[in-house]
Structure 1
Amino acid sequence: MNQMKSSLKRVKKTSSEDIISNEGDETDQQHHWHNRTRTMQQNLNKKLLGKSVLVILHCATERDYYSSLAYTVHDHLVGRWIRTQQHHFETDGKRVYYLSMELFMRRTLGNYIEELEEREMDAALGNGGLGRLAACFLDRMATLGLSSYGYGLRYDYAPGKFYFQLFNSGDYIRDVAEQSFTENITRVLYPNGNNDGRPITMLEKLLPRHLQLIQQINAHHLDLAQQKWPDDGDHRRRMSIIEDQVVNMGYLSIVDSHAVNGIAELHSSLLKSTLFKDFYGLSPEKFQNKTNGKTPRRWLLLCNPELSDLIASKIGEKWITDLSQWRNFVNDEQFVRDVQRIKLGNQQSLLTKFTEEYDNTNIKTVPRTVIFGGKAAPDYLQAKLIIKLICNVGRIVNHDSQIGDRIKVILLENYRVSLAEKMIPVADLSEQISLVGLETSDTCNMKMMLNRALTIGTLDGANIEMDEEVGRGNIIIFGMPVTDVDALKGKGYNSREFYEHEPELKRALDQIRGGYFSPEDPNLFAEIVKSRLGSNGQKYCEKKESCFQNQLVMWIFGYGSLVWKPDFRYISRQEGHVKGFIRRFWQLSEDHRGLPGKPGRVVTLISTGNQCDCVYGVAYEISNADEVSVRHVLDVREKDGYTIIETNFYPKDVEQKDMTCYTYMAHRENPFWGGDAPLDQIAEQIAHAYGPSGTNHEYLFKLAEAIRTITSAHDEHLFTLDQLVKTILTQDEQK
């Protein structure tokens, strides 16, 4: 009970009352929350004791606590809901009513007590993007204090929680129960996506008056089309809401609506030029764009509290409604490091949770874990096959003796909102690889970017607008734009040309088709390959190579403090050297190892062009997911006069091949160029300089020590300065 009491102190502010009642100073607010917490504790005890005379505090089960807390929270929220309604009634403002077949909400008790959160199931009110978008809209409206109400369908079962074999034929309503159709409509969240048409016979039986209204609407609609195109009967036929005794619900929605919008700029454009071209021609004023979004309240404030606190410590809490304020800190070195630290901490916490949950202390981290999340509608057979393929690939890869310690493949079981809230804050790389022109507007890319994940994807959906907003330097885009895809379709391009000319692609598809990943049923995945090599397959195959190239790692060579103090995440390190350079203490430092007016000296590379000259150091392997953040950290770290160059690196291990790497080198025209000077003069400067990162001589000593462990080659400049500075410091101590 003490544990439960302490957890209740962590009540989070999430209701509309918090938005309305936000006046008063900090002391008043603390007093307010203290009283609310105490009231909830008292109510919880009453509910717990009131359940049964046999239940006493010291023997109450977790289920008892869960039920009691649920009733307590219910009572608590009802009072606040009534006060909110009273506020809206008194202010008499405009109200928003959001109608959706799905409202994909998360668990709610997690807002109050974490220990009981796992007892609560995610509400079966939605399945995917439609429901999650609706939930985000409601969250956002609550954040903005708008008077808003969500109306949806309360389903009894959702995919993953019911046996759907009976429904795969599509006749799921009749098979659920022998009760009335009206009850069965919400028995099961529709197990397939084929819901755009409604038979006239069904509407005549269930909704006869509605059918009459639909027929009247269609007649008026076709009259308008006749006036627009008096000599073109094809328009009337194509645009009819009723065709072949089926009501097209999509067409009905367009005709009935005051405004129609796509959910990304590209999507909206394609709706007007392809799918609903005729409707756009009839009523162009209706068509708009509203790019999908995400709510920072849930996808940062709630699911990543440490990052939220860090941001609030810099700019206050107004960022929740104005993310543009973050721009002021992109060059704040400490802020960037703190963000990286939080990301790593989230990953370590999740690993610990998995270790405890699966009671396996042997869980180990690997450089890359590929995580898939998603579900397939029960009658979507190819999607089911793809999920099965992912699991089978994971079975092979995860137990491979050669690569098992380098990469893992995981499919998350029962992917849902509450699980997404745990995974999104730990993701490094967000892969949004859709067929250009077919993805409407996924929002997971926004959620992961919000939590500092790098996005790699095609120029599709919301990726286009994210690219415009953050800049190409902060997102990786590959593949063709939609205009080139359309041109490719026009040529009748054959995907088999890619298949025949790309050995890696051919080998992968052959393995899938030939049963390598399904030895128990060699033909299990043949249909997947067949579809990829069919009429639409060229779009899958075309982008494979560019996607692969964009996920190659980057190597960074360090020859100064990076040798002994890399402050970023890396996959592996290689000791070795670069050729054609010498290392010199010719760059001044006023931001790390010195102060304005009293600079220290740090190293830079000096190009000689002589391949006999070598500089030893360490090359770090950086994953594609970390490339942008690592480059940003180094750009800030080396901002005073350094530029990045590309060169070859030669590993100390002779069995390793040389590789292309990047390194930072000071240019002679930069304002902090110190240049050559007598060694005793440079030594005197290093011996007595210090800055925010420490003393200048510490930098020298640690670098010299590290280089001696890497190579036996003599670095005369470095080692001579090392000895001179030690002599100066010894003399200073003797004075």
Structure 2
Amino acid sequence: MPAAPAVEAPPLGARASVVREQLLRKLTYAVGKDPFVARRYDWLLAASHVVRDAIIDRWIASTRETYRSGRKRVYYLSLEFLIGRLFRDAASNLDLLEPLREALASFGVALDDIAEIEPDAALGNGGLGRLAACFIESMATVGIPAMGYGIRYEHGLFRQEIVDGRQVEVPEDWLSHGNPWEFERREAAYEIGFGGAVEGREDWDGATKPTWKPAERVIAVAYDTPIVGWKGKSVTTLRLWAARAIDPMRLEAFNQGDHLGAVTERMRAESISRVLYPADSTPAGQELRLRQEFFFTSASLQDLLRRHVQQFGDVRSLPEHAAVQLNDTHPAIAVAELIRLLVDVHGLSWEEAATLTRETISYTNHTLLPEALETWPVHLMERLLPRHMQIIYAINARLLADARRLPGADDAFIAAVSLIDESNGRRVRMGNLAFIGSHKVNGVSALHTALMKETVFAPLARLHPDRIVNKTNGITPRRWLFQANPGLTALIRETIGDRFMEDATALSDLARHADDASLQEAFAAVKQANKQRLAALIGERTGVRVDPSALFDVQVKRIHEYKRQLLNILEAVALYDAIRADPDRFPVPRVKVFAGKAAASYWRAKLIIRLINDVARVVNADPAVQGKLKIVFLPNYNVSLAERIIPAADLSEQISTAGMEASGTGNMKLALNGAITIGTLDGANVEIRDLVGAENIIIFGLCAEEVTALRARGYDPRATIEATAALKDALEAIAQGLFSPDEPGRYGELVGSLYGGDHFMVAADFAAYAEAQRQVDRLWQDQVTWRRKAILNTAHVGWFSSDRTVREYAEEIWRVRPRVSPDLQS
């Protein structure tokens, strides 16, 4: 039988007839199904292959162009890449969504139905991973040659279920049916060592050369996913590493009947890439976390050095052709590992290796919380990575010698800059290591960067005053507006044209129309349709019926005490009490939507989730509330759920303790979709206020300086609670078991933590927060003004595009020249 004629991948904007031919071919020859018996997943797989084919030619062309031109490449190392679903993302960027929709419809298949069954890639937790995903897409869009490096987690972050109000973690099996977007690269496999000892051997010149002899080795195998930019202009690569044993099974042990023991080494090796963020509350968990971080960092550095030597020959030119960005401290071991590879493998001197490392690497800091800046016990590092510990000691010796030469360098200063924390059981400070091993260190919002210089990195900034720079975070408008909110996108196009689709700052043209009554009506209609869809989803997933005409008050993010979901639910309890006492005082019906995961070992964050659900159960069932308040916790928050919630939000809760949120990106996504922010002057809220105007955002509470000053003079939370009747009553109701009658003391410790310390200033900000919420109520009753403010939020946050952010990185940190698109030249 003759082979079927080849059918080329559909071009951009392909007609449905071309796509239909491709779709049928892929269903037949790639999936092996007849359209008469194909199920939804078969159609999804076939459609994904159609899109993938359209990407591959562009992927190969982008890679060839990078090699041909010798352009500098960015290597972005991140333990998380929260990329979400890829089918709709890639099809949209290639302008294939509508042709695919029409082609599928000709077979009686709805594109939206099959897109919904694609699993989310479970490769991240929150903002850190989503930022990495936005960056890798934006680098493709603006034409920066780049490769993202991470781990191919088999299960990734857990799937969250809510059982009796409690978070229950179950494995996320996103790879159980395969992944059509990835390509295994068997040729890109590297040995990664652990443990063992460092031995000295005599080199050719008689010098003693340290040689690391690992006791254990595993193989890192590469899986590549193409990430296509807007209109397919270029394609970047996300390379994820899977851990494999060198010998999959000890056959001798198996034949002797030790069937489990025969595969123990394989299980130990593969556990490295099994789960994102294994609980580190035990020594075994800590070791696994460190193994993960070194595993992907070493594989990535070996890979980029191989590529560099293959193309350019001499490793000494590395900084001219490679920029390595560390996304937080997880890959900070790269500083020691790159020096090791340059000295031990490529034969460079220490001075050359240290200089090349610093010129190549840069580091993004994401937290001001000292406990979130990773440290590792010295004894663990010495056992697991003995050669790297030698290198860290050598870096530290030079660092401390430089520090002692500064005027006024006392013992406290020397202790603060040291890579070894001697006061806490001798631990390696990975943040300090990343700082010293980088030529630039950036914060992710203006406030965060300023506070970095004043707090966590103040001693190191004194030593290197020009090293810290700011790069305010951004989001990709392709996913967070065009895909997540097609109704709003269409309305904006109709109003101001298409220029904003190439340059998000052109959204500012919308501001001229903010007072247009017809636009306000259309804007509100789009929001209402999104709210109706979310209301249906809430009913489906929680059984709670909500009114789409109510104010949708949304707080969706990782559950953490500093993000203050507790403040939000306490104010909800106070509001519940007030509504019961006098319903007529509260004419605005409100639906409070929470979503987010707590780390598996973060007991108090999980208790806050349970409190939210306990309060929701009581409030939602109380007829005295008269529908004025509903509370919903949507389980298993991920990218796809965010895409449903964010376009439906009226009010965006960004209420972290001032000075603790590095930036936030949820605040940008919500404002872009026309939600009004209620928040503290923290993270990027400061820049949102500056851009949208102070009159179009609701700011409350202490600022960072006031938080610091209050703590310094002695904060008394008990006195504050006693003086705030609504808060005191809410806490008493919770403590007495009103919301947990089966276990009245369930929240005793949580309530006690506020009276006894209130580190996150919940009580201190409660009264201001409650008043800000009443301001929201008053504003909601004036729908003309509300809609105007919502439009202005969308109009003025285009600056937060991740395209702008990566261009700033490219110019000041990476020293890479983006390709200038003809569409942007004007």
Normalised to the residue count of structure 2, the TM-score between the two structures is 0.60
Aligned twin of 1:508: 730
Match for 2:447 among 255, 266, 270?
266
The 3 A distance-change label for structure 1 pair 269 and 51 is closer
1:199 equivalenced with 2:377 (yes/no): yes
1:299 equivalenced with 2:480 (yes/no): yes
| Cα deviation, residue 624, structure 1 | 7.2
| Cα deviation, residue 160, structure 1 | 2.6
Match for 1:474 among 673, 687, 696?
696
1:262·1:291 contact (CA, 8 Å) conserved in 2?
A: yes
1:217 equivalenced with 2:395 (yes/no): yes
Match for 2:706 among 454, 461, 484?
484
The 3 A distance-change label for structure 1 pair 132 and 628 is farther
Letter in 1 for 2:405: Q
1:629 equivalenced with 2:716 (yes/no): no
Letter in 2 for 1:226: R
Match for 2:518 among 324, 327, 334?
334
Cα deviation 1:576-622 (Å, max 9, x = unaligned): xxxxxxxxxxxxxxxxxxxxxxxxxxxxxxxxxxxxxxxxxxxxx75
Letter in 1 for 2:271: N
Structure 1: unaligned runs, 5 residues or longer: 1-16, 18-29, 167-172, 556-620, 636-735
Q: How far apart, CA to CA, are the structure 2 residues paired with 1:284 and 1:634?
A: 41
1:186 equivalenced with 2:301 (yes/no): no
The residue matched to 1:461 in structure 2 has which SS?
Answer: coil
| Cα deviation, residue 153, structure 1 | 1.6
| Cα deviation, residue 632, structure 1 | 5.9
The residue matched to 2:738 in structure 1 has which SS?
Answer: coil
Match for 1:84 among 53, 58, 62?
62
Q: How far apart, CA to CA, are the structure 1 residues paired with 2:520 and 2:610?
A: 39
Cα deviation 1:73-112 (Å, max 9, x = unaligned): 4344222211222344445443322211111111012344
Letter in 2 for 1:50: Y
| Cα deviation, residue 544, structure 1 | 1.0
Match for 1:33 among 6, 10, 13?
13
The 3 A distance-change label for structure 1 pair 369 and 270 is same
Computing the radius of gyration from Cα coordinates, the structure with the larger value is: 1
| Cα deviation, residue 358, structure 1 | 6.1
Report 1 or 2 for greater relative contact order, CA contacts < 8 Å, sequence distance ≥ 6. 2
Aligned twin of 2:284: none
The 3 A distance-change label for structure 1 pair 520 and 623 is same
Q: How far apart, CA to CA, are the structure 2 residues paired with 1:329 and 1:522?
A: 54
2:676·2:789 contact (CA, 8 Å) conserved in 1?
A: no
1:513·1:523 contact (CA, 8 Å) conserved in 2?
A: yes
Match for 1:525 among 740, 743, 747?
747
* Structure 1 stretch displaced more, 626-635 or 429-438: 626-635
The 3 A distance-change label for structure 1 pair 375 and 507 is same
The 3 A distance-change label for structure 1 pair 248 and 553 is closer
Q: How far apart, CA to CA, are the structure 1 residues paired with 2:404 and 2:789?
A: 60
The 3 A distance-change label for structure 1 pair 358 and 496 is closer
Cα deviation 1:211-262 (Å, max 9, x = unaligned): 3332322222222112225762332222221344432211111111111122
Aligned twin of 2:301: none
The 3 A distance-change label for structure 1 pair 494 and 245 is closer
1:498·1:538 contact (CA, 8 Å) conserved in 2?
A: no
Aligned twin of 1:727: none
Alignment of structure 1 residues 567-582 onto 2, 5 Å: none
The residue matched to 2:64 in structure 1 has which SS?
Answer: helix
Letter in 1 for 2:516: D
1:424·1:448 contact (CA, 8 Å) conserved in 2?
A: yes
Aligned twin of 1:372: 594
1:177·1:184 contact (CA, 8 Å) conserved in 2?
A: no
Match for 2:769 among 543, 547, 572?
547
| Cα deviation, residue 182, structure 1 | 5.3
The 3 A distance-change label for structure 1 pair 538 and 318 is closer
Q: How far apart, CA to CA, are the structure 1 residues paired with 2:159 and 2:265?
A: 20
1:292·1:441 contact (CA, 8 Å) conserved in 2?
A: yes
Q: How many residues align?
A: 531
The residue matched to 1:57 in structure 2 has which SS?
Answer: coil
Q: How far apart, CA to CA, are the structure 2 residues paired with 1:343 and 1:279?
A: 48
The 3 A distance-change label for structure 1 pair 533 and 360 is closer
Cα deviation 1:462-505 (Å, max 9, x = unaligned): 11121122111100111122222222112212111121122211
| Cα deviation, residue 418, structure 1 | 0.9
| Cα deviation, residue 407, structure 1 | 1.3
The residue matched to 2:632 in structure 1 has which SS?
Answer: strand
Q: How far apart, CA to CA, are the structure 2 residues paired with 1:515 and 1:483?
A: 37
Aligned twin of 1:442: 664
The 3 A distance-change label for structure 1 pair 231 and 385 is closer
1:514·1:522 contact (CA, 8 Å) conserved in 2?
A: yes
Alignment of structure 1 residues 82-481 onto 2, 5 Å: 82-111=60-89, 112=91, 113-161=111-159, 179=266, 183-191=270-278, 196-229=374-407, 232-243=410-421, 244-320=425-501, 321=503, 322=505, 323-352=507-536, 357=540, 364-365=547-548, 366=550, 367-481=589-703
| Cα deviation, residue 361, structure 1 | 11
Letter in 1 for 2:428: V
2:676·2:790 contact (CA, 8 Å) conserved in 1?
A: no
| Cα deviation, residue 380, structure 1 | 0.4
1:48 equivalenced with 2:27 (yes/no): yes
What is the RMSD of the two structures over their aligned residues, measured on CA atoms? Answer: 3.2
| Cα deviation, residue 204, structure 1 | 3.9
| Cα deviation, residue 408, structure 1 | 0.7
| Cα deviation, residue 307, structure 1 | 1.3
| Cα deviation, residue 292, structure 1 | 1.8
| Cα deviation, residue 300, structure 1 | 0.8
| Cα deviation, residue 384, structure 1 | 0.3
| Cα deviation, residue 268, structure 1 | 1.4
* Structure 1 stretch displaced more, 530-539 or 265-274: 530-539
1:97·1:151 contact (CA, 8 Å) conserved in 2?
A: yes
| Cα deviation, residue 527, structure 1 | 1.6
1:473·1:628 contact (CA, 8 Å) conserved in 2?
A: no
The residue matched to 2:597 in structure 1 has which SS?
Answer: coil
The residue matched to 1:59 in structure 2 has which SS?
Answer: coil
1:536 equivalenced with 2:515 (yes/no): no
Aligned twin of 1:590: none
The 3 A distance-change label for structure 1 pair 389 and 56 is same
The residue matched to 1:247 in structure 2 has which SS?
Answer: strand
The residue matched to 1:339 in structure 2 has which SS?
Answer: helix
| Cα deviation, residue 457, structure 1 | 0.9
| Cα deviation, residue 626, structure 1 | 5.4
Normalised to the residue count of structure 1, the TM-score between the two structures is 0.67
2:375·2:430 contact (CA, 8 Å) conserved in 1?
A: yes
The residue matched to 2:76 in structure 1 has which SS?
Answer: strand
* Structure 1 stretch displaced more, 433-442 or 224-233: 224-233
Cα deviation 1:359-389 (Å, max 9, x = unaligned): 9897644521100111100010000000011
| Cα deviation, residue 506, structure 1 | 0.6
Letter in 1 for 2:13: W
The residue matched to 1:214 in structure 2 has which SS?
Answer: helix
Q: How far apart, CA to CA, are the structure 2 residues paired with 1:123 and 1:625?
A: 42
Letter in 1 for 2:395: I
| Cα deviation, residue 199, structure 1 | 3.3
Q: How far apart, CA to CA, are the structure 2 residues paired with 1:313 and 1:305?
A: 12
The 3 A distance-change label for structure 1 pair 410 and 513 is same
The 3 A distance-change label for structure 1 pair 405 and 536 is closer
| Cα deviation, residue 310, structure 1 | 1.9
The residue matched to 1:504 in structure 2 has which SS?
Answer: helix
| Cα deviation, residue 628, structure 1 | 4.3
